[in-house]
Amino acid sequence: MNKFNIENLDLFYGQNQALKKINLPIPNRQVTALIGPSGCGKSTLLRCLNRMNDLIEGVTIKGLLTIDDENVYGNIDVAQLRIKVGMVFQKPNPFPMSIYENVAYGLRAQGVKDKKTLDTIVEQSLRGAALWDEVKDRLKSHAFGLSGGQQQRLCIARTIAMKPEVILMDEPTSALDPIATKKIEDLMETLKKEFTIVIVTHSMQQARRISDRTAFFLMGELVEHNETQNIFNNPTDDRTRGYVNGDFG
């Protein structure tokens, strides 16, 4: 079953066409990796999934993009869409407040006031992000005191707390060291049991390690998408073969 279906999607920044006739199913509760050279359109497509491109002036989108068969660009509550489709960015961006309040912030904004409820969800979310054991004794400490990898997992916990169905990740480990990167990758393997995950990554090794399906983009076009092992071991397009073999970047 697919969480998203993308059909003949075009995206323009003014007169510049950034995405060209994209057709891509994104399965439910799997990790789908978007790969390709810089500027190929993969992050642009990622931002289409929760309408983050709405925030950019002069963007025009044509085609059909659905989530659970509902038109993302139709008569939909965008605020609710962005709760349903959470996002983790390239650099960790914790709020300038305590670890606890980072996770509780969105819940409070949604009107959750009961402390017992907040405590429970904060703990569950931190556990879900594999961070609880590291921070349970310093929840009142400032989030900026965490390491980069811990901050990124805190951002994942903050996303989980809102009970999304999808987590978008835009190069979530590019600013992290190898040890922190492995923790995030291990976490994704656990998270996909409950969430649909779409990740943009420049690392082909990472895509190969953590994704179930991979889509390769080049100059705004979706060249090929398939199960990850097929993309890397038996690509059908010469451009894909050249990219995964490192012939161009």
pLDDT recorded at residue 175: 85
Whole-number Å distance between alpha carbons of 86 and 158: 9
pLDDT recorded at residue 71: 96
Sheet strands (E) in the chain? 2-13, 16-27, 31-35, 59-67, 70-71, 85-88, 166-170, 196-200, 213-218, 221-227
* pTM (whole model) above 0.85: yes
Residue 201 and residue 36 in contact, taking contact as beta carbons nearer than 8 Å: no
pLDDT recorded at residue 86: 95
pLDDT recorded at residue 247: 62
Helix (H) or strand (E) holding 240: helix 238-244
Domains annotated on the chain, with CATH:
2-95+166-245 (3.40.50.300)
Q: Which residues pair with 110 in a beta bridge?
A: none
pLDDT recorded at residue 248: 55
Q: What is the mean pLDDT of each run of 10 residues along the chain (249 residues)?
A: 96 95 97 95 96 92 96 94 94 96 95 95 95 96 96 96 96 91 93 96 93 97 97 94 76
Q: Which of 107, 94, 14, 110 is nearest to 53 (CA)?
A: 14
